[in-house]
Amino acid sequence: MILVIDLCYRNDSLSRAEFVGPVERILREAGAEFAVRHYIAAGAPEIEAADAVILCGTALKDTGFTEHPEMFRWLLAFERPVLGISSGMRALAAAFGGGTEPCYEIGMIDVQVLAPDPLFAGREGFRAYELHESAVRVPEGFIPLAVSDRCVQAIRHPSLPLYGLLFHPEVRNEWAIEQFLRLVETAQ
């Protein structure tokens, strides 16, 4: 089961339809078993039962999750696949000591892949949808996988299947979530 975590400012917010709904649709179409929980409600039983986790993005000014870093400390011991999307990348990076820096990108941008990784399925570059005011400072030891001309777009933990994507793969790059599902299957 994949645990999809909603990072929006409150459970069942309007933003959920924009940032969590498309991820749910992609998982449903792929036939994946999943459950959705708001980050405040995602407790140890759900996390321990999950085969993988997807941390969804949020609206541009929706950063309330950053006020609760303790809610993401479980990531330090979670050895199964994690995909942090946009705000989810921020939560993942913060759990490992990474910060943020200003980097404003909205709309379609070019992404260049720096290091081969199964998540990118042999791609060297692609266009992706951005919606952020901050970029992640890569946590120590994490590997930058892709960049735009302004900031790091993808990271991976050096030994665990923990990924962060600054771009929104649920918009025009559904293949990235599908590749993540393949990683989940091989990890089981």
Q: Can you spell out the DSSP letters for 110-156?
A: EEEE-S--GGGTT-SEEEEEEEEEEEEPPPTT-EEEEE-SSSEEEEE
Tens digits of residue pLDDT in 59-102: 877 777 888 888 899 999 999 999 999 999 999 999 999 999 99
Q: How confident is the model at residue 119 (pLDDT cuts 50, 70, 90)?
A: very high
**Per-residue pLDDT, 65:** 84
CATH code of 62's domain: 3.40.50.880
Q: What is the mean pLDDT of residues 168-183?
A: 97
Range of the domain at 23: 2-187
Q: pTM of the entire structure?
A: 0.96
pLDDT of 9 above 90? no
What pLDDT, on the 0 to 100 scale, is given for residue 102? 94
- Number of domains composing the chain: 1
State how far the Cα of 135 lies from the Cα of 102, in Å rounded to an integer.
6
Whether the per-residue pLDDT at 46 is higher than 80: the answer is yes
CA distances from 125 to 4, 33, 68, 121, 147 (A): 27, 30, 34, 11, 9
Averaged pLDDT, 148-156: 97
The yes-or-no verdict on residue 121 having pLDDT over 80 is yes
